[in-house]
Chains A and B, each alone.
Chain A
Amino acid sequence: MADFSNYLNSNLTPGQAGAHLWVVIYILIIFAAVSLAVIAMNWLERKILAHMQVRLGPMRVGPHGLLQPIADALKLLIKEDIIPENADKLVFWMAPLVVVITAFTTYIVIPFGPTHAVTDMNIGILFMLGVASLGTLGIIMAGWASNSHYPLLGSLRSSAQMVSYEVAMGMAAVSAILMTSLRGTGVYGIGSPTADAIGTLSMIEIVRAQMNQHVWFVFKFFPLGLAAFGIFAIAMVAETNRAPFDLPEAESELTAGFHTEYSGFRWSLFFLAEYAAMIAVSSIAVTLWLGGWLRPFPHWLSGDAWDTAFSIFPAFTFFVLAGMALRTTVRMPKHPYFKIQKAGLGVFGLLLGGIGLVLLVPPVRDRVQDIYWFAIKVAAFMYLYIWYRGTFPRYRFDQLMRLGWKFMIPTGIGVLIATALVGVL
């Protein structure tokens, strides 16, 4: 028990502090939170996409379809689990596990706050990129084991795509890592010229470097940081097989791509992994470029008053959400049919409000605001993913490769060299 309470006073991640119990707690919390985020993301994607496409989206299961993801999960659980007769059974069985495990393993090093990570590795970013790319293996396994043409084509596309975009992604990430060790302010004088310059691969230290240098790396050496960020942002969409780079599961060409033969719970594991991977890669982008858990303008708007003002944001967000829910409750049709839905939405609104109130309590407030700023940045990326899906047609395979090899990688190398030059000069 000493271990348990001692950790709370240390200013380290549980992994670094050696608090094994807390490591387990953190892993459980992160697993639950990511799963919950995937469920929320499922609902939000349907709703946002629906509104972009002049329709309502789920409206029947629960108020405004809030329970739709749960109904879907239940449906997937009780569906018949089919393994094709000619499939390689063992590989077929393992593929979704590999995909899910790799997608969730990356969360170990993601810093949701200065101490809110399972552990901090000195090679954090390498670990993340490495484990994230292992997911490809699961997709190839799925495509191969299905013993069917469409999944095979889908998995081949996926592997080619991931391998090519990983290079571009790596180039962009290296520029960010380089920026941690470079002091300068660039042409536009953004950031602090006097900060310590520490070269580091640790996720937490990268964010700290942005704190010390008074600049998010997306703005550092403007526009070099922005260019590298842009390359990363495009490559990460390709890396997670999302529109407009969703060739491996291009439904209009390959029916469902690598998971054509999967059904029921196995399929839902792929779904879970895809969304978990989206959140993971967005987290890398946030950590590298957008200042991780840092709140906006920590130096310019510093002081106790500003700190308090910004720390109210999480509670404020929940109050807004609660207000929206309650407003919808009031505006629901006055028909007896809606009675249960109305009550449900009202309770949901009050629950959100209650969470908001809890977030106002000072100790909670201080511990949660880092996570809040991190989550809000990741959420912006999630919105972008949905937006892309609603806007863009799909690239063709050869065009995707051309974009990757002939544009992204050369630009990535160019930005990297330019960053080094600007930093040294």
Chain B
Amino acid sequence: MADILKSEQSPSSVEHIEAEKGVDQPFLDATELILNMGPQHPSTHGVLRVILKLDGEKVLNTECVIGYLHRGVEKIAEHRTYAMFNPYVDRMDYVAAVSNGLGYCEAVEKLLNVEAPPRAQWVRTILTELNRIASHQLWLGTHALDIGAITPLFYTFRDREEILKIFEKYCGARLTTHAFRIGGCLYETYDGFEQDVKKFCDFVTPKVDEYETLLTTNRIWLERTKGVGVLKAEDCIDLGVTGPVLRASGVKWDLRKAQPYAAYKNFEFDIPTGQNGDTYDRYLVRVAEMRQALRIIRQAVDSIPEGPIMGKVPKVMKPPVGEIYHSIEAPKGELGYFIVSDGSTQPYRVRVRPPSFVNLQALSKMVEGALVADVVAVIGTLDIVLGEVDR
């Protein structure tokens, strides 16, 4: 792999590798092929670039090249006040913007030593869980599309639309919502919010079954996903993999249970886990998570407490000198914010622990010895968002 890494310094690296390789090898020695997958490729979920070393269709080695979507989000934070940086986090994992906001707001609240009022906690939980469903729906659609089933994509997008409508009615934005503020939520829920959410729950429950009818027992789907991209529990822990990918390997680790935040300790829900740690288990775990999220939402909507939605926070936020690490269970895994405060209005340093970035590490291990088609399936099953990988 060293030669691939070295070649990264050259702009046309792939050509470079091939030229280098050809020096002492006879012409037409086609034992190895270097395939440059991405950054413009239909199924690398954005601008991921994977350099594959192939023997025929078999993958010998892979190298992920990231950074095509780098926007310096962490650096930007050092030049913005705490409140001003809030919308930026939405742009990291843009399909789960609400979760990003929740993690950031809670981290700063911890730093400021304030707490959001219960009503805000409940609304945050509802919106975050809705967002988890939206994120998993988008994942399911695109993952199935990568494997060749084009129809689930349209089903999931149809239903995701309903979630986005609720977001739009709540805060005016559909994707990068900026729904939460430090110390609570800016907006009170609109009239009929509870009914809308309940209606959505009733609407989407049969739809989740519908996705399953297309895939769960589909012979081709089983063949394409069972035993593909297997990741053992030890490997997951060694690589720092979190979220559904970890749980599909049989580790029952969910920050919502392990370190409850927002209002999660008030609700009953299960942590779905898999056994084999293959692509099929990850699929089942995520589908089960959608159902669990609906369960949480139903409980939360029925028990929203009355009261203010915004807590008391100073107009000018100057957290005491110190540092904080706060992490939440985002749809893709553990999303952590490490914030260092120097006592001024701006953070001294913000470090984000993005689940996609860490999970992407596992790609090389998962596709060793697999076929080209599996690479695509594994990229899909890791559920990465390049906005979050590159930040």
The answer to whether A and B belong to the same complex is: yes
In this assembly, does A356 line the interface, its C-beta being within 8 Å of a C-beta of chain B?
A: no
Instruction: Chain A residues near B35: list those with CB within 8 A.
Output: 149-150, 153
A255 CA to B44 CA, complexed, in Å: 11
Instruction: Chain B residues near A395: list those with CB within 8 A.
Output: 148, 220, 223-224
In this assembly, does A55 line the interface, its C-beta being within 8 Å of a C-beta of chain B?
A: yes
Contact A53 B151 (CB under 8 A): yes
A396 CA to B367 CA, complexed, in Å: 14
Contact with A along B140-154 (1 / 0, CB 8 A): 000011111111011
Q: Select from chain B the residue with minimum beta-carbon distance to A50.
A: B154
Contact A396 B224 (CB under 8 A): yes
Q: Select from chain B the residue with minimum beta-carbon distance to A399.
A: B223
In this assembly, does B5 line the interface, its C-beta being within 8 Å of a C-beta of chain A?
A: no
| Contacting residue for A251 out of B33, B42, B154, B223, CB 8 A | B42
Known: A153-B57, A252-B146, A391-B214. A396 touches B374 (CB 8 A): yes
In this assembly, does B158 line the interface, its C-beta being within 8 Å of a C-beta of chain A?
A: yes
Contact A252 B33 (CB under 8 A): no
Q: Which of A223-252 contact B (CB under 8 A)?
A: 243-244, 246-247, 250-252
Q: Which of A329-354 contact B (CB under 8 A)?
A: none
Instruction: Chain A residues near B304: list those with CB within 8 A.
Output: none
Contact B372 A253 (CB under 8 A): yes
| Contacting residue for B150 out of A53, A254, A397, CB 8 A | A53
Contact B221 A393 (CB under 8 A): yes
Q: Select from chain B the residue with minimum beta-carbon distance to A52.
A: B151
Contact A398 B371 (CB under 8 A): yes
Contact with A along B274-297 (1 / 0, CB 8 A): 000000000000000000000000
In this assembly, does A390 line the interface, its C-beta being within 8 Å of a C-beta of chain B?
A: yes
B154 to chain A minimum Cβ distance, whole angstroms, is 4
| Contacting residue for B158 out of A54, A153, A244, A253, CB 8 A | A54
In this assembly, does B376 line the interface, its C-beta being within 8 Å of a C-beta of chain A?
A: yes
A146 to chain B minimum Cβ distance, whole angstroms, is 14
In this assembly, does B365 line the interface, its C-beta being within 8 Å of a C-beta of chain A?
A: no
In this assembly, does A389 line the interface, its C-beta being within 8 Å of a C-beta of chain B?
A: yes
A53 to chain B minimum Cβ distance, whole angstroms, is 4
In this assembly, does A300 line the interface, its C-beta being within 8 Å of a C-beta of chain B?
A: no
Interface centre among A150, A255, A394 (most CB of B within 10 A): A394
Chain B residues with a Cβ closer than 8 Å to the other chain, count: 32
Contact B42 A392 (CB under 8 A): no
Contact with B along A147-160 (1 / 0, CB 8 A): 00110010001000
A55 CA to B158 CA, complexed, in Å: 9
Q: Which of A371-413 contact B (CB under 8 A)?
A: 389-399
In this assembly, does B80 line the interface, its C-beta being within 8 Å of a C-beta of chain A?
A: no
Contact A393 B218 (CB under 8 A): yes
Contact B43 A252 (CB under 8 A): yes
| Contacting residue for A252 out of B42, B57, B214, B220, CB 8 A | B42
Contact B218 A253 (CB under 8 A): no
Contact A390 B373 (CB under 8 A): no
A342 CA to B147 CA, complexed, in Å: 41
Contact A396 B151 (CB under 8 A): no
A399 CA to B371 CA, complexed, in Å: 11
Chain A residues with a Cβ closer than 8 Å to the other chain, count: 30
Q: Select from chain A the residue with minimum beta-carbon distance to B215.
A: A393
Contact A391 B224 (CB under 8 A): no
Q: Which of A250-270 contact B (CB under 8 A)?
A: 250-255
Contact with B along A271-286 (1 / 0, CB 8 A): 0000000000000000
Q: Is chain B's interface secondary structure helix, strand, loop, or mixed overall?
A: helix
Contact A252 B144 (CB under 8 A): no
A255 CA to B223 CA, complexed, in Å: 22
Instruction: Chain B residues near A252: list those with CB within 8 A.
Output: 42-43, 145-148, 376
| Contacting residue for B373 out of A49, A52, A255, A394, CB 8 A | A394
A395 CA to B57 CA, complexed, in Å: 14
Q: Select from chain B the residue with minimum beta-carbon distance to A396.
A: B373
Contact A392 B372 (CB under 8 A): no
Contact A250 B218 (CB under 8 A): no
Known: A53-B150, A252-B145, A389-B150. A396 touches B223 (CB 8 A): yes
A175 CA to B224 CA, complexed, in Å: 32
Contact B41 A250 (CB under 8 A): no
| Contacting residue for A397 out of B146, B151, B371, CB 8 A | B371
Contact A253 B43 (CB under 8 A): yes
Known: A253-B373, A399-B223. A393 touches B41 (CB 8 A): no
In this assembly, does B261 line the interface, its C-beta being within 8 Å of a C-beta of chain A?
A: no
B94 to chain A minimum Cβ distance, whole angstroms, is 21
Q: Select from chain A the residue with minimum beta-carbon distance to B144.
A: A393
A390 CA to B151 CA, complexed, in Å: 6
A157 to chain B minimum Cβ distance, whole angstroms, is 8
Q: Which of B363-382 contact A (CB under 8 A)?
A: 371-376
Interface centre among A252, A391, A392, A397 (most CB of B within 10 A): A252
Contact B57 A393 (CB under 8 A): no
In this assembly, does B348 line the interface, its C-beta being within 8 Å of a C-beta of chain A?
A: no
| Contacting residue for B154 out of A55, A153, A393, CB 8 A | A55
Q: Which of A118-152 contact B (CB under 8 A)?
A: 149-150
A52 CA to B155 CA, complexed, in Å: 10
B279 to chain A minimum Cβ distance, whole angstroms, is 12
Contact B42 A149 (CB under 8 A): no
Contact B149 A393 (CB under 8 A): yes
Instruction: Chain B residues near A389: list those with CB within 8 A.
Output: 150
Q: Select from chain B the residue with minimum beta-carbon distance to A254.
A: B372
Interface centre among A52, A153, A392 (most CB of B within 10 A): A392
Q: Select from chain A the residue with minimum beta-carbon distance to B52.
A: A149
Interface centre among A244, A391, A396 (most CB of B within 10 A): A396
A340 CA to B33 CA, complexed, in Å: 55
Instruction: Chain A residues near B220: list those with CB within 8 A.
Output: 244, 392-395
Instruction: Chain A residues near B146: list those with CB within 8 A.
Output: 252
Instruction: Chain A residues near B33: list those with CB within 8 A.
Output: 149
| Contacting residue for B42 out of A49, A153, A255, CB 8 A | A255
A293 CA to B330 CA, complexed, in Å: 61
A280 to chain B minimum Cβ distance, whole angstroms, is 24
A114 CA to B70 CA, complexed, in Å: 67
Could you list some 21 contacts between A and B, CB below 8 A?
A: A52-B151, A53-B151, A54-B158, A157-B57, A247-B373, A252-B147, A253-B43, A253-B372, A253-B376, A254-B372, A255-B42, A390-B150, A390-B151, A391-B151, A392-B148, A394-B149, A395-B220, A395-B224, A396-B371, A396-B374, A397-B372
> Which 6 residue pairs spanning A and B have beta carbons closest together?
A394-B148, A53-B154, A393-B149, A252-B43, A393-B148, A393-B147
- Chain A interface (Cβ < 8 Å from any Cβ of B): 49, 52-55, 149-150, 153, 157, 243-244, 246-247, 250-255, 389-399
